Amino acid sequence: MENRRDDGVASEQTKEDQTHDLHSILSSSERDFLIRNNGDQVKFDSLKGKKVGLYFSASWCGPCQQFTPNLVEVYKEVSSKGDFEIVFVSADEDEEAFKGYFSKMPWLAIPFSDSKTRDHLDELFKVMGIPYLVIIDESGKVSTDEGVEIIREYGVDAYPFSSERVKELKDQEEAARREQSLKSILVSRERDFVISADGKEVSVSELEGKTVGLYFSVSSYKKCLTFTPKLIEVYEELKLKGEKFEVVMLPLDDDEESFKQAFEKMPWFSLPLKDKSCVKLARYFELSSLPSLVIIGPDGKTLRADVVETVEEHGTLAYPFTPEKFAELEEIEKAKREAQTLESILVSKDLDFVIGKDGLKVPVSDLVGKTILIYFSAHWCPPCRAFLPKLVEAYQQIKAKDDAFEVIFISSDKDQASFEDFFSTMPWLALPFGDERKESLSRTFKVRGIPMLVALDPKGRTVTTEARELVMYHGADAYPFTKERLKEIEAQQEEMAKGWPEKVKAAVHVHELVLTRRERYFCDGCEEQGQVWSFYCRKCDFDLHPKCALEEAKGTKGDTEEVGEGKKGEEGWVCDGEVCTKA
Protein backbone atom coordinates (compact mmCIF):
# COMPACT_ATOMS: atom_id res chain seq x y z
CA MET A 1 0.00 0.00 0.00
CA GLU A 2 0.96 3.59 -0.48
CA ASN A 3 2.55 5.12 2.59
CA ARG A 4 0.90 8.26 3.91
CA ARG A 5 2.52 11.25 5.59
CA ASP A 6 1.47 12.30 9.07
CA ASP A 7 3.55 15.40 9.73
CA GLY A 8 1.09 18.20 8.97
CA VAL A 9 2.78 20.80 11.17
CA ALA A 10 6.24 20.26 9.71
CA SER A 11 4.76 20.24 6.23
CA GLU A 12 3.08 23.60 6.76
CA GLN A 13 6.30 25.09 8.10
CA THR A 14 8.16 23.90 4.98
CA LYS A 15 5.64 25.41 2.61
CA GLU A 16 5.35 28.73 4.39
CA ASP A 17 8.79 29.42 5.76
CA GLN A 18 11.48 27.74 3.69
CA THR A 19 13.05 28.88 0.44
CA HIS A 20 15.50 26.60 -1.36
CA ASP A 21 18.37 27.23 -3.72
CA LEU A 22 17.96 24.36 -6.16
CA HIS A 23 21.62 24.32 -7.14
CA SER A 24 22.64 23.91 -3.49
CA ILE A 25 20.20 21.15 -2.58
CA LEU A 26 20.45 19.14 -5.82
CA SER A 27 24.22 19.28 -6.43
CA SER A 28 27.22 17.91 -4.54
CA SER A 29 30.91 18.70 -4.27
CA GLU A 30 31.62 16.06 -6.95
CA ARG A 31 28.70 16.91 -9.25
CA ASP A 32 27.19 20.08 -10.75
CA PHE A 33 24.73 18.49 -13.16
CA LEU A 34 21.59 16.36 -13.39
CA ILE A 35 21.09 13.50 -15.86
CA ARG A 36 18.60 12.33 -18.47
CA ASN A 37 17.74 8.67 -19.02
CA ASN A 38 20.06 8.55 -22.07
CA GLY A 39 23.03 9.55 -19.86
CA ASP A 40 23.19 13.21 -20.98
CA GLN A 41 24.32 15.64 -18.32
CA VAL A 42 22.21 18.78 -17.81
CA LYS A 43 23.52 21.89 -16.07
CA PHE A 44 21.56 23.53 -13.26
CA ASP A 45 21.22 26.71 -15.27
CA SER A 46 18.42 24.95 -17.17
CA LEU A 47 16.23 25.12 -14.04
CA LYS A 48 16.45 28.89 -13.64
CA GLY A 49 13.06 30.61 -13.79
CA LYS A 50 11.20 27.30 -13.73
CA LYS A 51 8.85 25.58 -11.37
CA VAL A 52 10.46 22.29 -10.37
CA GLY A 53 8.83 19.10 -9.10
CA LEU A 54 10.98 16.81 -6.95
CA TYR A 55 9.58 13.34 -7.55
CA PHE A 56 10.44 10.83 -4.82
CA SER A 57 9.68 7.37 -6.18
CA ALA A 58 11.03 3.82 -6.70
CA SER A 59 10.62 0.93 -9.11
CA TRP A 60 9.63 -1.51 -6.33
CA CYS A 61 6.72 0.68 -5.18
CA GLY A 62 3.34 -0.40 -6.61
CA PRO A 63 1.60 2.99 -6.11
CA CYS A 64 4.63 4.65 -7.76
CA GLN A 65 4.33 2.39 -10.80
CA GLN A 66 0.65 3.31 -11.05
CA PHE A 67 1.21 7.05 -10.63
CA THR A 68 4.25 7.57 -12.85
CA PRO A 69 2.36 7.17 -16.19
CA ASN A 70 -0.11 9.85 -15.02
CA LEU A 71 2.76 12.15 -14.18
CA VAL A 72 4.42 11.49 -17.56
CA GLU A 73 1.21 12.48 -19.35
CA VAL A 74 0.92 15.71 -17.36
CA TYR A 75 4.62 16.50 -17.77
CA LYS A 76 4.54 16.13 -21.54
CA GLU A 77 1.72 18.64 -21.81
CA VAL A 78 3.02 21.12 -19.23
CA SER A 79 6.73 21.03 -20.15
CA SER A 80 5.91 22.50 -23.55
CA LYS A 81 5.22 25.78 -21.76
CA GLY A 82 8.96 25.96 -21.02
CA ASP A 83 8.69 26.83 -17.34
CA PHE A 84 8.32 23.44 -15.64
CA GLU A 85 10.71 20.58 -14.92
CA ILE A 86 10.76 17.43 -12.79
CA VAL A 87 13.74 15.88 -11.00
CA PHE A 88 13.49 12.21 -10.05
CA VAL A 89 14.85 11.34 -6.59
CA SER A 90 15.09 7.57 -6.51
CA ALA A 91 14.54 5.32 -3.52
CA ASP A 92 15.86 2.29 -5.42
CA GLU A 93 18.76 0.35 -3.96
CA ASP A 94 19.72 -1.41 -7.16
CA GLU A 95 21.22 0.56 -10.06
CA GLU A 96 19.73 -1.67 -12.76
CA ALA A 97 16.28 -1.23 -11.23
CA PHE A 98 16.88 2.55 -11.17
CA LYS A 99 17.90 2.58 -14.83
CA GLY A 100 14.93 0.50 -15.92
CA TYR A 101 12.47 2.71 -14.07
CA PHE A 102 14.14 5.99 -15.10
CA SER A 103 14.05 4.90 -18.75
CA LYS A 104 10.26 5.48 -18.66
CA MET A 105 10.68 9.07 -17.46
CA PRO A 106 11.13 12.05 -19.81
CA TRP A 107 12.53 14.32 -17.10
CA LEU A 108 15.78 14.73 -15.12
CA ALA A 109 17.19 12.80 -12.17
CA ILE A 110 19.76 12.83 -9.41
CA PRO A 111 22.36 10.24 -10.49
CA PHE A 112 21.90 6.89 -8.74
CA SER A 113 25.52 7.05 -7.56
CA ASP A 114 24.82 10.17 -5.47
CA SER A 115 23.01 8.47 -2.59
CA LYS A 116 24.20 11.16 -0.17
CA THR A 117 22.21 13.89 -1.96
CA ARG A 118 19.20 11.65 -2.31
CA ASP A 119 19.24 10.85 1.41
CA HIS A 120 19.65 14.53 2.24
CA LEU A 121 16.61 15.42 0.11
CA ASP A 122 14.55 12.74 1.87
CA GLU A 123 15.45 14.30 5.20
CA LEU A 124 15.06 17.91 4.03
CA PHE A 125 11.53 17.37 2.72
CA LYS A 126 10.55 14.88 5.44
CA VAL A 127 9.61 12.17 2.98
CA MET A 128 7.58 9.62 4.94
CA GLY A 129 6.09 7.71 2.00
CA ILE A 130 6.24 7.42 -1.78
CA PRO A 131 5.20 8.40 -4.39
CA TYR A 132 5.77 11.95 -3.16
CA LEU A 133 5.95 15.10 -5.24
CA VAL A 134 7.15 18.48 -3.96
CA ILE A 135 6.53 21.48 -6.24
CA ILE A 136 8.99 24.38 -5.85
CA ASP A 137 8.15 27.69 -7.52
CA GLU A 138 10.48 30.03 -9.45
CA SER A 139 11.62 31.76 -6.24
CA GLY A 140 12.61 28.49 -4.55
CA LYS A 141 9.59 28.41 -2.26
CA VAL A 142 7.59 25.20 -1.85
CA SER A 143 4.18 25.66 -3.50
CA THR A 144 2.90 22.32 -2.25
CA ASP A 145 4.12 18.96 -1.02
CA GLU A 146 0.87 17.32 -2.09
CA GLY A 147 1.70 17.13 -5.78
CA VAL A 148 0.73 13.46 -6.06
CA GLU A 149 -2.75 14.04 -4.67
CA ILE A 150 -3.25 17.19 -6.78
CA ILE A 151 -2.23 15.53 -10.04
CA ARG A 152 -4.27 12.43 -9.30
CA GLU A 153 -7.31 14.57 -8.75
CA TYR A 154 -6.94 17.34 -11.32
CA GLY A 155 -4.20 16.32 -13.76
CA VAL A 156 -2.89 19.02 -16.07
CA ASP A 157 -5.72 21.36 -15.04
CA ALA A 158 -3.91 21.86 -11.72
CA TYR A 159 -0.96 23.64 -13.37
CA PRO A 160 0.95 25.53 -11.90
CA PHE A 161 0.18 23.16 -8.99
CA SER A 162 -0.15 25.89 -6.37
CA SER A 163 -2.60 25.93 -3.46
CA GLU A 164 -4.24 28.95 -5.10
CA ARG A 165 -4.84 26.99 -8.29
CA VAL A 166 -6.25 24.03 -6.36
CA LYS A 167 -8.63 26.34 -4.51
CA GLU A 168 -9.69 27.84 -7.82
CA LEU A 169 -10.43 24.36 -9.21
CA LYS A 170 -12.43 23.40 -6.15
CA ASP A 171 -14.44 26.62 -6.43
CA GLN A 172 -15.05 25.87 -10.11
CA GLU A 173 -16.30 22.38 -9.25
CA GLU A 174 -18.69 23.77 -6.67
CA ALA A 175 -19.96 26.32 -9.18
CA ALA A 176 -20.29 23.58 -11.80
CA ARG A 177 -22.44 21.52 -9.43
CA ARG A 178 -24.69 24.49 -8.77
CA GLU A 179 -24.99 25.32 -12.48
CA GLN A 180 -24.80 21.77 -13.80
CA SER A 181 -26.24 20.96 -17.22
CA LEU A 182 -25.83 18.03 -19.58
CA LYS A 183 -23.45 20.11 -21.69
CA SER A 184 -21.33 21.16 -18.69
CA ILE A 185 -20.92 17.47 -17.88
CA LEU A 186 -20.33 15.95 -21.31
CA VAL A 187 -18.85 18.73 -23.45
CA SER A 188 -15.11 19.48 -23.23
CA ARG A 189 -12.85 21.95 -24.99
CA GLU A 190 -11.90 19.28 -27.52
CA ARG A 191 -15.30 17.62 -28.02
CA ASP A 192 -19.02 18.49 -28.10
CA PHE A 193 -20.29 15.06 -29.14
CA VAL A 194 -20.70 11.46 -28.03
CA ILE A 195 -20.18 8.46 -30.29
CA SER A 196 -22.32 5.51 -31.31
CA ALA A 197 -21.04 1.95 -31.76
CA ASP A 198 -20.68 2.51 -35.53
CA GLY A 199 -18.44 5.53 -34.94
CA LYS A 200 -21.06 8.17 -35.66
CA GLU A 201 -20.63 11.45 -33.77
CA VAL A 202 -23.83 12.70 -32.12
CA SER A 203 -24.07 16.22 -30.70
CA VAL A 204 -24.60 16.37 -26.93
CA SER A 205 -27.34 18.93 -27.62
CA GLU A 206 -29.46 16.10 -29.09
CA LEU A 207 -29.57 14.47 -25.65
CA GLU A 208 -30.80 17.56 -23.82
CA GLY A 209 -34.28 17.32 -22.30
CA LYS A 210 -33.92 13.55 -21.82
CA THR A 211 -33.21 11.44 -18.76
CA VAL A 212 -29.61 10.29 -19.26
CA GLY A 213 -27.75 7.48 -17.51
CA LEU A 214 -24.00 7.95 -17.31
CA TYR A 215 -22.65 4.40 -17.30
CA PHE A 216 -19.14 4.10 -15.79
CA SER A 217 -17.78 0.73 -16.78
CA VAL A 218 -14.73 -1.42 -17.51
CA SER A 219 -15.78 -3.87 -20.21
CA SER A 220 -13.66 -6.77 -18.93
CA TYR A 221 -14.64 -6.40 -15.25
CA LYS A 222 -16.83 -9.29 -14.09
CA LYS A 223 -19.50 -7.16 -12.39
CA CYS A 224 -19.79 -4.97 -15.49
CA LEU A 225 -20.10 -8.07 -17.69
CA THR A 226 -22.96 -9.22 -15.45
CA PHE A 227 -24.78 -5.88 -15.27
CA THR A 228 -24.47 -4.70 -18.89
CA PRO A 229 -26.98 -7.25 -20.33
CA LYS A 230 -29.51 -6.21 -17.67
CA LEU A 231 -29.04 -2.54 -18.55
CA ILE A 232 -29.41 -3.32 -22.27
CA GLU A 233 -32.70 -5.10 -21.51
CA VAL A 234 -34.00 -2.12 -19.52
CA TYR A 235 -32.79 0.39 -22.14
CA GLU A 236 -34.48 -1.42 -25.01
CA GLU A 237 -37.76 -1.86 -23.10
CA LEU A 238 -37.88 1.86 -22.32
CA LYS A 239 -37.11 2.71 -25.96
CA LEU A 240 -39.98 0.48 -27.13
CA LYS A 241 -42.29 2.37 -24.78
CA GLY A 242 -41.15 5.65 -26.33
CA GLU A 243 -39.51 6.96 -23.16
CA LYS A 244 -36.99 9.77 -23.47
CA PHE A 245 -34.12 7.83 -21.95
CA GLU A 246 -30.52 7.59 -23.11
CA VAL A 247 -27.34 5.99 -21.82
CA VAL A 248 -23.86 7.41 -22.33
CA MET A 249 -21.05 5.08 -21.38
CA LEU A 250 -17.92 6.50 -19.76
CA PRO A 251 -15.36 3.76 -20.41
CA LEU A 252 -12.53 3.36 -17.92
CA ASP A 253 -10.88 0.56 -19.94
CA ASP A 254 -7.14 0.35 -20.56
CA ASP A 255 -7.39 -2.02 -23.52
CA GLU A 256 -8.79 -0.56 -26.75
CA GLU A 257 -9.61 -3.91 -28.34
CA SER A 258 -11.67 -5.07 -25.33
CA PHE A 259 -13.55 -1.78 -25.35
CA LYS A 260 -14.34 -2.01 -29.08
CA GLN A 261 -15.56 -5.60 -28.84
CA ALA A 262 -17.83 -4.73 -25.92
CA PHE A 263 -19.13 -1.40 -27.28
CA GLU A 264 -20.20 -2.79 -30.65
CA LYS A 265 -22.82 -4.91 -28.85
CA MET A 266 -24.27 -1.93 -26.95
CA PRO A 267 -27.26 0.09 -28.23
CA TRP A 268 -26.29 3.38 -26.60
CA PHE A 269 -23.67 6.11 -26.85
CA SER A 270 -20.22 6.48 -25.31
CA LEU A 271 -17.48 8.98 -24.75
CA PRO A 272 -14.34 8.08 -26.74
CA LEU A 273 -12.01 5.65 -25.00
CA LYS A 274 -9.42 7.45 -22.84
CA ASP A 275 -11.27 10.75 -23.16
CA LYS A 276 -10.06 12.87 -20.23
CA SER A 277 -13.65 13.59 -19.21
CA CYS A 278 -14.12 9.94 -18.14
CA VAL A 279 -11.69 10.16 -15.23
CA LYS A 280 -12.69 13.75 -14.49
CA LEU A 281 -16.37 12.80 -14.21
CA ALA A 282 -15.55 9.72 -12.11
CA ARG A 283 -14.02 12.16 -9.62
CA TYR A 284 -16.83 14.72 -10.04
CA PHE A 285 -19.48 12.13 -9.17
CA GLU A 286 -17.29 10.63 -6.41
CA LEU A 287 -17.35 7.21 -8.02
CA SER A 288 -16.80 4.46 -5.45
CA SER A 289 -17.56 1.25 -7.33
CA LEU A 290 -17.96 -0.30 -10.78
CA PRO A 291 -20.26 -0.53 -12.55
CA SER A 292 -21.94 2.75 -11.66
CA LEU A 293 -24.97 4.37 -13.32
CA VAL A 294 -25.49 8.07 -12.55
CA ILE A 295 -28.87 9.47 -13.54
CA ILE A 296 -29.11 12.99 -14.98
CA GLY A 297 -32.62 14.42 -15.19
CA PRO A 298 -34.15 16.27 -18.16
CA ASP A 299 -33.06 19.56 -16.54
CA GLY A 300 -29.39 18.46 -16.51
CA LYS A 301 -29.27 18.03 -12.73
CA THR A 302 -28.20 14.84 -10.97
CA LEU A 303 -31.22 12.77 -9.97
CA ARG A 304 -29.41 9.80 -8.43
CA ALA A 305 -25.73 9.07 -7.80
CA ASP A 306 -25.90 5.34 -8.61
CA VAL A 307 -28.86 3.14 -9.58
CA VAL A 308 -27.10 -0.11 -10.51
CA GLU A 309 -28.68 -2.06 -7.63
CA THR A 310 -32.08 -0.49 -8.27
CA VAL A 311 -31.97 -1.47 -11.96
CA GLU A 312 -30.88 -5.00 -11.04
CA GLU A 313 -33.74 -5.34 -8.59
CA HIS A 314 -36.57 -3.45 -10.28
CA GLY A 315 -35.68 -3.09 -13.97
CA THR A 316 -37.90 -0.63 -15.86
CA LEU A 317 -40.03 -0.06 -12.76
CA ALA A 318 -37.24 2.25 -11.52
CA TYR A 319 -37.75 4.70 -14.41
CA PRO A 320 -37.70 7.75 -14.38
CA PHE A 321 -35.52 7.51 -11.23
CA THR A 322 -37.19 10.46 -9.49
CA PRO A 323 -37.54 10.85 -5.69
CA GLU A 324 -41.24 10.02 -6.07
CA LYS A 325 -40.39 6.81 -7.93
CA PHE A 326 -37.88 5.78 -5.27
CA ALA A 327 -40.52 6.37 -2.59
CA GLU A 328 -42.78 3.97 -4.50
CA LEU A 329 -39.99 1.41 -4.76
CA GLU A 330 -39.35 1.66 -1.03
CA GLU A 331 -42.99 0.80 -0.37
CA ILE A 332 -42.62 -2.18 -2.71
CA GLU A 333 -39.46 -3.25 -0.86
CA LYS A 334 -41.19 -2.85 2.49
CA ALA A 335 -44.11 -5.03 1.39
CA LYS A 336 -41.66 -7.57 -0.02
CA ARG A 337 -39.74 -7.72 3.27
CA GLU A 338 -42.95 -8.22 5.22
CA ALA A 339 -44.08 -10.99 2.87
CA GLN A 340 -40.64 -12.65 2.75
CA THR A 341 -40.51 -16.38 3.42
CA LEU A 342 -37.70 -18.90 3.33
CA GLU A 343 -39.07 -20.30 0.08
CA SER A 344 -39.33 -16.85 -1.54
CA ILE A 345 -35.59 -16.25 -1.14
CA LEU A 346 -34.22 -19.77 -1.43
CA VAL A 347 -36.42 -21.43 -4.07
CA SER A 348 -35.92 -20.59 -7.75
CA LYS A 349 -37.72 -22.78 -10.30
CA ASP A 350 -36.42 -26.33 -9.76
CA LEU A 351 -33.69 -25.15 -7.36
CA ASP A 352 -35.59 -25.94 -4.17
CA PHE A 353 -32.85 -27.49 -2.05
CA VAL A 354 -29.58 -26.88 -0.24
CA ILE A 355 -26.88 -29.48 0.34
CA GLY A 356 -25.37 -31.22 3.32
CA LYS A 357 -22.27 -33.34 3.53
CA ASP A 358 -21.47 -35.57 0.56
CA GLY A 359 -23.76 -33.39 -1.59
CA LEU A 360 -26.91 -34.75 0.05
CA LYS A 361 -29.88 -32.61 -1.07
CA VAL A 362 -31.98 -31.12 1.72
CA PRO A 363 -35.33 -29.64 0.58
CA VAL A 364 -35.85 -26.02 1.58
CA SER A 365 -39.30 -27.08 2.83
CA ASP A 366 -37.55 -29.11 5.57
CA LEU A 367 -36.08 -25.87 6.96
CA VAL A 368 -39.34 -23.92 7.16
CA GLY A 369 -40.14 -22.95 10.75
CA LYS A 370 -36.49 -22.79 11.82
CA THR A 371 -34.30 -19.82 12.69
CA ILE A 372 -31.78 -19.62 9.84
CA LEU A 373 -28.40 -17.91 9.52
CA ILE A 374 -27.34 -17.17 5.93
CA TYR A 375 -23.52 -17.19 6.01
CA PHE A 376 -21.71 -15.37 3.17
CA SER A 377 -18.06 -16.38 3.28
CA ALA A 378 -15.04 -17.72 1.35
CA HIS A 379 -11.96 -19.82 1.99
CA TRP A 380 -9.57 -17.19 0.53
CA CYS A 381 -10.82 -14.48 2.93
CA PRO A 382 -8.68 -14.24 6.12
CA PRO A 383 -11.43 -12.59 8.25
CA CYS A 384 -13.79 -15.40 7.16
CA ARG A 385 -11.35 -18.05 8.33
CA ALA A 386 -10.81 -16.17 11.59
CA PHE A 387 -14.56 -15.89 12.26
CA LEU A 388 -15.45 -19.49 11.38
CA PRO A 389 -14.35 -21.14 14.69
CA LYS A 390 -16.45 -18.63 16.65
CA LEU A 391 -19.50 -19.38 14.49
CA VAL A 392 -18.97 -23.16 14.74
CA GLU A 393 -18.80 -22.88 18.53
CA ALA A 394 -22.00 -20.80 18.67
CA TYR A 395 -23.76 -23.14 16.22
CA GLN A 396 -23.00 -26.24 18.27
CA GLN A 397 -24.14 -24.60 21.50
CA ILE A 398 -27.38 -23.34 19.94
CA LYS A 399 -28.15 -26.71 18.27
CA ALA A 400 -27.65 -28.47 21.60
CA LYS A 401 -30.47 -26.39 23.05
CA ASP A 402 -32.75 -25.94 20.02
CA ASP A 403 -32.76 -28.13 16.92
CA ALA A 404 -35.01 -25.62 15.11
CA PHE A 405 -31.90 -23.74 13.97
CA GLU A 406 -29.66 -24.00 10.94
CA VAL A 407 -26.85 -22.21 9.07
CA ILE A 408 -26.57 -22.10 5.26
CA PHE A 409 -23.15 -21.30 3.74
CA ILE A 410 -23.16 -19.10 0.60
CA SER A 411 -19.72 -19.35 -0.98
CA SER A 412 -17.67 -16.66 -2.72
CA ASP A 413 -14.88 -19.13 -3.45
CA LYS A 414 -13.27 -19.18 -6.87
CA ASP A 415 -13.41 -22.89 -7.60
CA GLN A 416 -15.15 -26.09 -6.55
CA ALA A 417 -12.10 -27.48 -4.74
CA SER A 418 -11.77 -24.41 -2.50
CA PHE A 419 -15.50 -24.52 -1.76
CA GLU A 420 -15.38 -28.18 -0.81
CA ASP A 421 -12.26 -27.72 1.31
CA PHE A 422 -13.85 -24.86 3.28
CA PHE A 423 -17.29 -26.47 3.53
CA SER A 424 -15.71 -29.65 4.92
CA THR A 425 -14.80 -27.69 8.08
CA MET A 426 -18.43 -26.61 8.65
CA PRO A 427 -21.12 -28.63 10.48
CA TRP A 428 -24.09 -27.06 8.62
CA LEU A 429 -25.65 -26.80 5.14
CA ALA A 430 -24.70 -24.89 1.98
CA LEU A 431 -25.89 -23.65 -1.35
CA PRO A 432 -24.15 -25.69 -4.10
CA PHE A 433 -21.03 -24.00 -5.49
CA GLY A 434 -21.82 -21.72 -8.44
CA ASP A 435 -25.56 -21.81 -7.68
CA GLU A 436 -27.42 -18.99 -9.48
CA ARG A 437 -29.36 -18.15 -6.29
CA LYS A 438 -26.22 -16.61 -4.79
CA GLU A 439 -26.58 -13.44 -6.89
CA SER A 440 -30.19 -12.82 -5.87
CA LEU A 441 -29.36 -13.46 -2.21
CA SER A 442 -26.44 -11.04 -2.41
CA ARG A 443 -28.76 -8.38 -3.87
CA THR A 444 -31.55 -9.05 -1.39
CA PHE A 445 -29.26 -8.64 1.60
CA LYS A 446 -27.00 -6.00 -0.01
CA VAL A 447 -23.80 -7.93 0.64
CA ARG A 448 -20.86 -5.52 0.51
CA GLY A 449 -18.27 -7.53 2.38
CA ILE A 450 -17.61 -10.94 3.85
CA PRO A 451 -17.97 -12.61 6.24
CA MET A 452 -21.59 -11.52 6.53
CA LEU A 453 -24.25 -13.26 8.58
CA VAL A 454 -27.99 -12.70 8.02
CA ALA A 455 -30.51 -13.96 10.59
CA LEU A 456 -34.01 -15.08 9.49
CA ASP A 457 -36.83 -15.80 11.91
CA PRO A 458 -38.95 -19.01 11.76
CA LYS A 459 -41.31 -17.28 9.27
CA GLY A 460 -38.38 -16.52 6.94
CA ARG A 461 -38.33 -12.76 7.58
CA THR A 462 -35.07 -10.88 8.09
CA VAL A 463 -34.24 -10.32 11.75
CA THR A 464 -30.86 -8.66 11.17
CA THR A 465 -28.11 -8.45 8.56
CA GLU A 466 -25.55 -7.84 11.32
CA ALA A 467 -25.64 -11.22 13.04
CA ARG A 468 -21.88 -11.59 12.57
CA GLU A 469 -21.27 -8.81 15.11
CA LEU A 470 -23.78 -10.38 17.51
CA VAL A 471 -22.03 -13.75 17.33
CA MET A 472 -18.63 -12.08 17.77
CA TYR A 473 -19.76 -10.16 20.87
CA HIS A 474 -22.21 -12.58 22.47
CA GLY A 475 -21.68 -16.02 20.91
CA ALA A 476 -24.59 -18.41 21.35
CA ASP A 477 -26.17 -16.04 23.89
CA ALA A 478 -27.28 -13.82 20.97
CA TYR A 479 -29.75 -16.46 19.75
CA PRO A 480 -32.36 -15.88 18.28
CA PHE A 481 -30.72 -12.53 17.33
CA THR A 482 -33.88 -10.45 17.87
CA LYS A 483 -34.14 -6.93 19.31
CA GLU A 484 -35.89 -8.41 22.33
CA ARG A 485 -32.96 -10.75 22.98
CA LEU A 486 -30.51 -7.86 22.68
CA LYS A 487 -32.49 -5.91 25.27
CA GLU A 488 -32.27 -8.91 27.61
CA ILE A 489 -28.48 -9.04 27.08
CA GLU A 490 -28.27 -5.30 27.75
CA ALA A 491 -30.11 -5.75 31.04
CA GLN A 492 -27.80 -8.62 32.00
CA GLN A 493 -24.76 -6.48 31.28
CA GLU A 494 -26.10 -3.67 33.45
CA GLU A 495 -26.74 -6.16 36.24
CA MET A 496 -23.20 -7.51 35.83
CA ALA A 497 -21.66 -4.16 36.69
CA LYS A 498 -23.73 -3.52 39.82
CA GLY A 499 -21.50 -3.14 42.82
CA TRP A 500 -18.40 -2.26 40.78
CA PRO A 501 -16.78 1.08 41.53
CA GLU A 502 -17.14 3.81 38.90
CA LYS A 503 -13.42 4.54 39.13
CA VAL A 504 -10.35 2.62 40.26
CA LYS A 505 -6.67 3.44 40.73
CA ALA A 506 -4.40 0.69 39.42
CA ALA A 507 -0.66 0.43 40.00
CA VAL A 508 -0.10 -0.46 36.34
CA HIS A 509 -1.32 2.93 35.08
CA VAL A 510 -0.63 6.50 36.13
CA HIS A 511 -4.20 7.82 35.64
CA GLU A 512 -7.46 6.93 37.30
CA LEU A 513 -9.49 4.38 35.28
CA VAL A 514 -13.20 4.89 34.61
CA LEU A 515 -15.75 2.08 34.19
CA THR A 516 -16.69 2.36 30.50
CA ARG A 517 -18.74 0.39 27.98
CA ARG A 518 -16.37 -0.95 25.30
CA GLU A 519 -17.51 -3.26 22.52
CA ARG A 520 -14.17 -5.04 22.15
CA TYR A 521 -10.66 -4.29 23.32
CA PHE A 522 -7.41 -5.89 24.43
CA CYS A 523 -6.67 -5.63 28.11
CA ASP A 524 -3.37 -3.85 28.75
CA GLY A 525 -3.00 -5.94 31.90
CA CYS A 526 -3.55 -9.57 30.91
CA GLU A 527 -3.33 -8.88 27.13
CA GLU A 528 -6.50 -10.90 26.51
CA GLN A 529 -9.52 -9.68 24.60
CA GLY A 530 -12.36 -8.18 26.57
CA GLN A 531 -15.77 -6.79 25.75
CA VAL A 532 -18.73 -4.90 27.20
CA TRP A 533 -17.00 -3.38 30.25
CA SER A 534 -13.54 -1.93 30.72
CA PHE A 535 -11.84 0.27 33.28
CA TYR A 536 -10.58 2.76 30.74
CA CYS A 537 -8.29 5.79 30.45
CA ARG A 538 -9.49 7.76 27.44
CA LYS A 539 -6.43 10.01 27.44
CA CYS A 540 -4.04 7.10 27.02
CA ASP A 541 -6.40 4.63 25.33
CA PHE A 542 -5.58 2.21 28.16
CA ASP A 543 -7.92 -0.68 29.04
CA LEU A 544 -8.07 -3.00 32.01
CA HIS A 545 -10.46 -5.91 32.05
CA PRO A 546 -12.70 -5.53 35.18
CA LYS A 547 -11.17 -8.71 36.63
CA CYS A 548 -7.68 -7.23 36.32
CA ALA A 549 -8.71 -3.78 37.52
CA LEU A 550 -10.55 -5.05 40.59
CA GLU A 551 -7.68 -7.39 41.47
CA GLU A 552 -5.28 -4.44 41.18
CA ALA A 553 -7.53 -2.31 43.35
CA LYS A 554 -7.71 -5.05 46.01
CA GLY A 555 -4.01 -5.79 45.76
CA THR A 556 -4.71 -9.45 44.97
CA LYS A 557 -4.03 -11.68 42.02
CA GLY A 558 -5.65 -14.86 40.77
CA ASP A 559 -8.42 -15.37 43.37
CA THR A 560 -11.10 -12.99 42.14
CA GLU A 561 -14.21 -14.24 40.36
CA GLU A 562 -13.87 -13.67 36.64
CA VAL A 563 -16.18 -10.91 35.40
CA GLY A 564 -16.63 -8.66 32.43
CA GLU A 565 -17.21 -11.04 29.51
CA GLY A 566 -20.49 -12.49 30.77
CA LYS A 567 -21.19 -14.88 33.57
CA LYS A 568 -20.35 -18.03 31.87
CA GLY A 569 -7.59 -11.03 -0.92
CA GLU A 570 -8.54 -12.26 -4.02
CA GLU A 571 -8.98 -10.23 -7.14
CA GLY A 572 -11.79 -7.70 -6.83
CA TRP A 573 -11.69 -7.73 -3.01
CA VAL A 574 -9.77 -5.84 -0.32
CA CYS A 575 -9.25 -7.32 3.17
CA ASP A 576 -8.51 -5.10 6.17
CA GLY A 577 -8.21 -7.84 8.80
CA GLU A 578 -11.82 -7.47 9.94
CA VAL A 579 -13.75 -7.81 6.71
CA CYS A 580 -13.12 -8.44 3.00
CA THR A 581 -14.97 -5.87 0.90
CA LYS A 582 -15.58 -5.62 -2.83
CA ALA A 583 -12.99 -3.32 -4.36
Query: Backbone dihedral region of 541: left (phi > 0), alpha (psi from -120 to 50 degrees) or beta?
Result: left
Name all domains of the chain by residue range, CATH numbers in brackets. Answer: 22-168 (3.40.30.10), 182-331 (3.40.30.10), 342-487 (3.40.30.10), 500-555 (3.30.60)
Tens of pLDDT, residues 393-437: 999 999 999 999 999 999 999 999 999 999 999 999 999 999 999
pTM value is: 0.59
Tens of pLDDT, residues 116-134: 999 999 999 999 999 999 9
Of 379, 453, 384, 386, residue with least CA distance to 422:
379
pLDDT at 519: 75
Pure H helices in 53-135: 62-78, 95-102, 115-124
Helix then strand then coil, in percent of the chain rounded to 5, is 40, 20, 35
The CA dihedral of 425, 430, 433, 438, to the nearest 10 degrees, is: -130
pLDDT at 51: 94
Rg (alpha carbons) of the chain, rounded to whole number: 30
Residues 143, 162: contact at Cβ < 8 Å? yes
Separation in Å, CA 486 to CA 390, 469, 472, 493: 19, 12, 14, 10
Residues 221, 290: contact at Cβ < 8 Å? yes
How many CB atoms are closer than 10 A to CB 10?
A: 14
Query: Backbone dihedral region of 280: left (phi > 0), alpha (psi from -120 to 50 degrees) or beta?
Result: alpha
Residue 92 phi, psi dihedral angles, 5° rounding: -70, 150
Tens of pLDDT, residues 367-391: 999 999 999 999 999 999 999 999 9
Query: Can you tell me the distance from the alpha carbon of 144 to that of 136, in angstroms, rounded to the nearest whole number?
Result: 7
Of 436, 434, 451, residue with least CA distance to 374:
451
pLDDT at 393: 96
Residue 254 phi, psi dihedral angles, 5° rounding: -100, -30
Give me the residues of the chain with pLDDT under 50, please: 1-16, 556-568
How many CB atoms are closer than 10 A to CB 479?
A: 22
